[in-house]
Chain A
């Protein structure tokens, strides 16, 4: 049986761990509230942008942008993978990577090559180990990502789409459903998918100022950027939520562990006292 002192040090060290996990839980909880607000605030922009793009997909413009039409043959695709920068957030990243790998397998079966853009250190370290062609990465984006930090990675993908190196572009990130559930999802960014609103089916077009090409180019680039930005913001919210839950269960587990050890400690202490007593008694008897 372990001595009382050993158990005591063990309890003390678990208590320290518990303090850390509790602190992390609280930090994650307060950060989550903030990033959740930021995420909600950014949603209308992306939603409105999506509407406009959907309308545009249904219009019959004189200038057809390459982002709007499906390509006949898909040989190579690009994926942007959004992960967190830090660990200790439960299964958030591993779930995302599992989902990614299964998608990649499906594409591989169809003989489609894959280019990857990685956002977040976790994705970088995972996919360098797994292997594959990585064309761009962005790490250490923090809690308040500036849109221009992300534009670089997006631009790489857009350029290779323009040069017809890739024929489709996907975004794989965690969707925030609620603070308990986050779901890894793959969303097709390019070509942009048109909406199916019936009333818009007749022939019509916008007036473009200054001219169609400039406006449409500007709009579509903004659109893709805003989708990626939204994905990153949402992933940050997911990260904080997942960390909060993971740290909460870690603190709870530490609590049960301490309770168990406390029992062991009490037993050991009693055993030691009993032993000492019996030693004294037998010692007195021997005199």
Chain B
């Protein structure tokens, strides 16, 4: 039997996933992290992007997170995301539209708006779209 690690993915609104995985890939602030069981304890913040789980029996699940915090204990991985979605539930057209709107809002920004907020939204929307593209492309 292969070794597994327990994974919990929660967002502020709901619990998305709780179960075991053989390998976990997350978009860390400093770059993508691959987490195998018995990883050393680590804490990092997350970038918007794709969280991929390799489950036993060659299954896979993936989630989109818009940022958050990752904690690794040797046998438990906890992802506290600001908001997250199962990629299967994501609608490609809606994501593309959101991305275009965010880019549009960013390009046509006036002086009176919150620059950081708009930029953050655009980055998030882009990451979401790219994550989805990557997944569909495979």
The yes or no answer to A6 lying at the interface (CB within 8 A) is no
Chain B, interface residues (CB within 8 Å), range: 20 to 34
Determine which of B43, B73, B80 lies in contact with A208 in the assembled complex, contact meaning CB atoms within 8 Å: B43
Enumerate chain B residues within 8 angstroms of A214, measured Cβ to Cβ.
45
Chain-A contact segment, one of B9-17, B105-113, B130-138:
B9-17
Enumerate chain B residues within 8 angstroms of A48, measured Cβ to Cβ.
8, 10, 78, 80
**B41 and A218 within 8 A (CB):** no
Determine which of B14, B44, B80 lies in contact with A209 in the assembled complex, contact meaning CB atoms within 8 Å: B44
**B43 and A206 within 8 A (CB):** yes
* A-B contacts at CB below 8 angstroms, number: 72
The yes or no answer to A42 lying at the interface (CB within 8 A) is yes
**A210 and B80 within 8 A (CB):** no
**B10 and A44 within 8 A (CB):** yes
The yes or no answer to A196 lying at the interface (CB within 8 A) is no
The yes or no answer to A112 lying at the interface (CB within 8 A) is no
**B40 and A207 within 8 A (CB):** yes
Enumerate chain B residues within 8 angstroms of A38, measured Cβ to Cβ.
13
Enumerate chain A residues within 8 angstroms of B49, measured Cβ to Cβ.
none
**B42 and A52 within 8 A (CB):** no
**B45 and A218 within 8 A (CB):** yes
**B12 and A51 within 8 A (CB):** no
Expressed in whole angstroms, the minimum distance between the Cβ of A195 and any Cβ of chain B is 13
What are the 10 A-B residue pairs with the smallest beta carbon separation, nearest first? Answer: A209-B44, A44-B15, A207-B42, A41-B14, A52-B71, A206-B41, A45-B10, A206-B43, A44-B10, A209-B30
- Chain A: residues with CB nearer than 8 A to chain B? 38, 41-42, 44-45, 48-49, 51-52, 55-56, 59, 147, 204-210, 214-216, 218-219, 222, 226, 229
Selected A-B contacts with CB under 8 Å, 11 pairs: A41-B15, A42-B12, A44-B10, A44-B15, A48-B10, A147-B12, A206-B43, A209-B29, A209-B44, A222-B80, A229-B12
